[in-house]
Homo-oligomer: A and B are copies of this chain.
Amino acid sequence: MRTIDWNDESNSIVMIDQTLLPVEYRVIECKTLASLCEAIRSLRVRGAPALGAAGAFGIALAAELSSADDMDGLTRDLKVAAKTIKATRPTAVNLAWGVDRTINAISDAYDVDGIKDIVLAEAKNIADEDVETNKKLGKHGAKLLEDGDTVMTHCNAGRLACVDWGTALGVIRSAVEAGKDINVIACETRPLNQGGRITTWELMQDNIDVRLISDSMSGHVMSKGMVDKVIVGADRITGDAVFNKIGTYTHSVLAKEHEIPFYVAAPISTFDPDNWEDTVTIEQRDADELRFFKDVQIAPADVKVYNPAFDATPMENVTAVITEKGVFHPPFLLDEVIV
């Protein structure tokens, strides 16, 4: 099944619970806005494009659950829901994008049922378009990979970060589909280990060769000539920087030092022309993520922790941004790409 989807029978959102992987594959159902918000906050669903769909389906769910019997009342309910959903991951631009696009679609409706139909249809469109976008993006990016390449990646910009196929891993999938032999080095991606838990799992499901390393090893494997290219996803791309999972910036500096191409694979919806590196607030996550791994204590329980969710990679460190509209080499203006 897709990473996140709408269940027409139960009128609810279904998703793969990514916090349980790779130990357990479990599909969960969100029947309330609270359970969806909890799922987003706890990273049961994560990854920029998947969050776009999550935001969109969230509005559809809010419409479904609303008891308002006039358009004004329903619109008010949806706007409250929009605010609630966006607040769960304030740095994730796609989440807000999915919410807003769905809300904006209701201007076509002329009654309460119309609104409900339109927001659900729009959310489903967003999910379908995401898969199509990734396939296009993958095809563009696959041309950058050569037969026999070893590609290093960070976090999970795979099908589980999207509705399906993936961005960074979508490029790898498209290259493999085109008959190229690609090996992957997955960085485990502390503190929540999306690389170790999810990227490895989804590549192994597809029989794509993958080796796991700790994030700290990236310099070493590059210096040993073990990496031909780096491909990562993005949570937000401003005119001057790529915001992505904490650790991405570190890999970009190392790639520059070793003259290894550093690619960012992300749909156009990730672009944020209204912000710059210094106008984006990076969320700090819970300190316990570095003190415990599930029930295992891995640091003093009261140690001070610095735990930013993202970092910013300056565009100078990026060889190219791979989108569904093609491959763009910095420097470029976001407006040229978005139009």
Contacts and interface: CB of A to CB of B under 8 A. Distances in A.
B211 A306 contact: yes
Given A190-B216, A220-B250, A247-B214, A200 B303 contact: yes
Contact of A188 (B201, B221, B247, B298): B298
Contacts of A23: 297
A162 interface: no
A339 B165 CA distance: 61
Contacts of A27: none
Interface string A171-194: 000000000000001011111010
B297 A22 contact: yes
Contact of A200 (B154, B190, B299): B299
A296 B23 CA distance: 9
A304 B190 contact: no
A116 interface: no
Given A196-B299, A299-B188, A300-B201, A247 B216 contact: yes
A62 interface: no
Interface in A298-324: 298-300, 302-308, 311-312
A197 interface: yes
A210 interface: yes
A219 B300 contact: no
A72 interface: no
**What is the size category of the interface that chain A forms with chain B?**
35 or more
B303 A219 contact: no
A212 B296 contact: no
B219 A253 contact: yes
Contacts of A298: 188, 193, 196-197, 293
Interface string A236-276: 00000000001101101110110000000000000000000
Nearest to A257: B253
B290 A218 contact: no
Interface string A206-217: 000111111111
A295 interface: yes
- Which 4 residue pairs across A and B have the least CB separation, nearest first? A216-B247, A219-B250, A190-B214, A215-B216
6 contacts: A211-B303, A211-B304, A214-B215, A219-B249, A220-B249, A221-B306
Given A219-B250, A253-B254, A295-B296, 5 more contacts: A185-B306, A193-B299, A213-B306, A214-B290, A221-B306
